Chain A
């Protein structure tokens, strides 16, 4: 498993796309920190950018890489290695390569310029976000055999999670604004990994704006140890569940 991961990492690290991704993230975070004296404002901007770019690149790159390495997968399957080992090895390989890009591109600048609880939360939620979208990418890859369809599906998932879902939530709030929706909202946010990551950072950044009745309730829930554990578990569920489903499909799949 680790051997497969090692080969994949070595392969990906040399690829131009990952280098470009690293440089892009680094350029964004460095420019933001250099141009703005206010570190908190810098973190806000990085969060906004991160919430869009990190899931997009993670899911699209992982999907493309998976499809491009179909022959390699077929070769591995013909060897006496269990399919579970192959898929998990691939997951570890791809995700750790993208994670290292994230680490170099965002974590290092944040550590240098804005080392704080907010900064650490940002790093942790970004890393979890990467993992969950790589996991979702594996699901799309095993669901379909066609490369174009797979990438299309990956893009759809990204589009749904980053825009459509929040739009639907807003619509939902408008329709049922007469009802007490605070608890429902907590449940709804758990349905989207991007929202989970965003709220964890939000609780650090906009703490003073969250002091209204509703905000205070979220604050009370997500700010407490229990709430942090809940959101971490939900993030892990978002990583593990798609991967497990992908594994189930991959085991039975006729390659």
Chain B
């Protein structure tokens, strides 16, 4: 009985797939541009674009199409307009080289623009020299997969790589962004997942969040960006297993948190950044299982932060593990590994018997007199730090790790 239904079902489906036709676009044929192909296509059709260079000045995709590039055809806007705009849902756009969109200060010209659509897949494209790369606005359930974006690296006039504005349920995976203003930019983009992306050498931030709640980003790499990664005015964010590496220079941070609350920072690695994590006005953040290695400052927590917990992190080879600009209250450090810890463990349970104070006296001195950075690692500074550890008087009493680990956490 079930088999009959199944056959009937297949039979009913068949006409639809037969009806959907495939249109082939190739240079020097009757259909020699994507625009012409879209004109004659119906919703549900497939357009295959053969290898070649096509001029595409704001090609409008307003039907539910599957558009595939074969052997990476080039769509070039010659700096006149946007390259492609998608205004229909259920579009799949795959395998193109998109280049040379217009730059301008009045409008945000983009390589691929999506406006008010849903269920669109943008995959395997190479975007070169566009003002904005992929621009999503008012969209839902979009997938941006495995694209390779290179910006113009123009200091004054450069847009974001992947730009989201008022979006929901977006899935961004496996993209590579470089030489744009912000690699990945989120504004009012909620409930999205950002995974396995690589963002390096962007002019401003590798990734930038504004007012974007309930997002998860994991397994991304942010390397050598102008100002690292910045997360601002956002709630309930999960940052898992990312790598922040070599974001350095004055006022450059691996991860900058400003007005963030109820978030989770877990399993990330911060390596060779000027400042690993910088926190300002951030509350109720769980920072666990991270590695802070060879940074200038491991974590900088401003006095405006409240009720954050730092547990099970490794701090290795940072010039300063934790610094602050005032008195820190209600921020809890527990069960971390600190390579500067000099205590002992008599009962051999792997936990040091005396608490560790991560903020050194010298860190406090530098806070007041930045010039004294010149005395780093001198005998007098070591001496002062030792004395302060023995008899604390200047460093904040509340900041201490009651159960410092003797050996680093293995991950």
Contact = CB atoms under 8 A, between A and B. Distances in A.
Interface in B378-396: 378-383
B21 to A, nearest CB: 59
Question: Nearest 9 A-B pairs (CB), nearest first?
Answer: A209-B296, A209-B319, A208-B296, A166-B380, A211-B274, A214-B370, A206-B319, A166-B378, A181-B371
A48 B377 contact: yes
Contacts of B376: 202, 206, 209
Interface string B264-275: 000000001110
Contact of A213 (B320, B370, B381): B370
Interface stretch (A5-13, A37-45, A113-121): A37-45
Contacts of B371: 173, 177, 181-182, 185, 214
A215 interface: yes
Contacts of A41: 316-317, 339
A229 interface: no
Given A47-B377, A163-B380, A166-B380, A211 B372 contact: no
7 contacts: A44-B377, A48-B379, A169-B374, A170-B375, A173-B371, A211-B250, A214-B373
B343 interface: no
Given A40-B317, A48-B377, 8 more contacts: A41-B339, A44-B317, A44-B377, A166-B380, A166-B381, A202-B376, A210-B296, A211-B252
B163 to A, nearest CB: 29
A195 B296 CA distance: 20
Contact of B294 (A177, A198, A208): A208
A174 B316 CA distance: 30
A206 B375 CA distance: 12
A121 B370 CA distance: 25
Of A163, A170, A182, A205, the most chain B CB neighbours within 10 A belong to A170
A167 interface: yes
Interface in B357-411: 365, 368-383
B236 to A, nearest CB: 31
A193 to B, nearest CB: 13
A38 B273 CA distance: 17
Contacts of A100: none
A142 interface: no
B310 interface: no
Interface string B159-182: 000000000000000000000000
B249 A211 contact: yes
Interface in B230-257: 248-250, 252
Contacts of A189: 374
Contact of A173 (B272, B297, B369, B378): B369
Contact of B374 (A52, A216, A218): A218
Contact of B368 (A177, A198, A205): A177
B403 to A, nearest CB: 23
Contacts of B383: 163
A153 B77 CA distance: 79
B379 A206 contact: no
A234 B294 CA distance: 30
Nearest to A208: B296
Q: Which of B273, B297, B365, B372 has the most CB of A within 10 A?
A: B372
A199 B374 contact: yes
Interface in A171-214: 173-174, 177, 181-182, 185, 189, 194-195, 198-199, 201-202, 205-214
B312 interface: no
A195 B378 contact: yes
A162 interface: yes
A167 B378 CA distance: 10
Nearest to A192: B378
Contact of B375 (A52, A166, A181, A211): A166
A155 interface: no
A18 interface: no
Given A189-B374, A199-B374, A208-B319, A170 B380 contact: yes
Interface in B301-330: 316-317, 319-320
A19 B294 CA distance: 36
A166 B383 CA distance: 11
B374 A163 contact: no
B150 interface: no
A245 interface: no
B295 interface: yes
Interface string A78-104: 000000000000000000000000000
Nearest to B383: A163
B366 to A, nearest CB: 8
A202 B272 CA distance: 15
A29 to B, nearest CB: 17
A51 interface: yes
Interface in B15-46: none
